[in-house]
Amino acid sequence: MQTNTHEIADRIYRLSTCVPDAAPGGFTFNQFLIDADQPLLFHTGPRRMFPLVSQAVARIVPLERLRWIAFGHVEADECGAMNEFLAVAPRAEVAHGAIGCMVSLDDLCDRPPRKLADGEVIDLGGRRVRHIDTPHVPHNWEARVLFEESTATLFCGDLLTHTGDGPALTDGDVVGPALEAEALFHATALAPATAGTIRRLADLAPRTLALMHGSSTQVRCGESLRALADAYELMTQPR
Ligand SMILES: [Fe+2]
Ligand SMILES: [Fe+2]
């Protein structure tokens, strides 16, 4: 396995590792590094991927400069290596919503996490990331996304997950492949609030959707989120 790096927006890097047998056609695990005065890593990758991911980060910024470690929710692929990163980056803090800290991260993190209120912004110096609580969307009570305001990049986490080892950025449809992956994995919590939460993310008018699994995109971002919301809404209606 190897980790490929691609700058998908100004000083926002996608680090991508494809695991061939995780799904038919392979399945990518992507981290995103915002190279600002206070560098932020969104997703750490699982613990066993730490050597690959940390080397990829270190090719862009020295590991000891990492200031923030963030992720969508508490699962191994999102945050399994957070303590390994805390160990090599003495000034780094995990930043997550209050629920995630209370339920898991106050205990799991080797250093106390920074608790963020819904809508709170961290000024990275040159970049500003807004924390947005999205409970149970796509899954887990502590789920959240990050929105980088100056590039309008939405770090979607598992939203729009699709299989395959596609390009870093695609102009193609991301909704159809995401619904195929949903049929395969059943990963989304299909709850009454799911569609509304995704539509609120579309209202942010993102210009880049940075996806944790699959290709990111810079076309039809809001439209794709609304189409995804519509599809989930149909699935949640009683038959
Ligand atoms: Fe997940
Ligand atoms: Fe994930």
pLDDT tens digits, residue range 8-39?
999 999 999 999 999 999 999 999 999 999 99
Nearest ligand, measured from the Cα of 45: 2
- What is the rounded average pLDDT for all residues in the chain? 97
What is the predicted pLDDT for the residue at 20? 95
216-226 pLDDT per residue, tens: 999 999 999 99
Q: Is the pLDDT of residue 133 over 90?
A: yes
75-110 pLDDT per residue, tens: 999 999 999 999 999 999 999 999 999 999 999 999
What is the predicted pLDDT for the residue at 188? 97
Q: Is the pLDDT of residue 114 over 90?
A: yes
Scanning the structure block, which residue is given the tokens 């990492």? 66
Q: How far is the CA of 219 from the centre of ligand 2 (A)?
A: 22
Q: Average pLDDT in the 151-173 region? A: 98
For residue 5, which of 70, 78, 57, 80 has the smallest C-alpha distance? 57
173-184 pLDDT per residue, tens: 999 999 999 999
- What residues have their beta carbon closer than 5 A to ion ligand 2? 77, 158, 212
Q: How far is the CA of 127 from the centre of ligand 2 (A)?
A: 24
Q: How far is the CA of 76 from the centre of ligand 1 (A)?
A: 8
What percent of the chain clears pLDDT 70, i.e. is strictly above it? 100
Q: How far is the CA of 41 from the centre of ligand 1 (A)?
A: 17
For residue 69, which of 59, 82, 53, 88 has the smallest C-alpha distance? 82
Q: How far is the CA of 172 from the centre of ligand 1 (A)?
A: 23
Q: How far is the CA of 43 from the centre of ligand 2 (A)?
A: 9
Q: Is the pLDDT of residue 227 over 80?
A: yes
> In degrees rounded to 5, what are phi and psi of residue 105?
-75, -30
Q: How far is the CA of 55 from the centre of ligand 1 (A)?
A: 23
Residues 6+ apart with CB under 8 A from 58: none
Q: How far is the CA of 73 from the centre of ligand 2 (A)?
A: 8
Q: How far is the CA of 157 from the centre of ligand 2 (A)?
A: 6
Q: How many CA atoms lie within 13 A of 197 on its CB side?
A: 21
Nearest ligand, measured from the Cα of 143: 1
190-210 pLDDT per residue, tens: 999 999 999 999 999 999 999
CA dist 174 and 181 (Å) reads 11
Q: How far is the CA of 203 from the centre of ligand 1 (A)?
A: 23
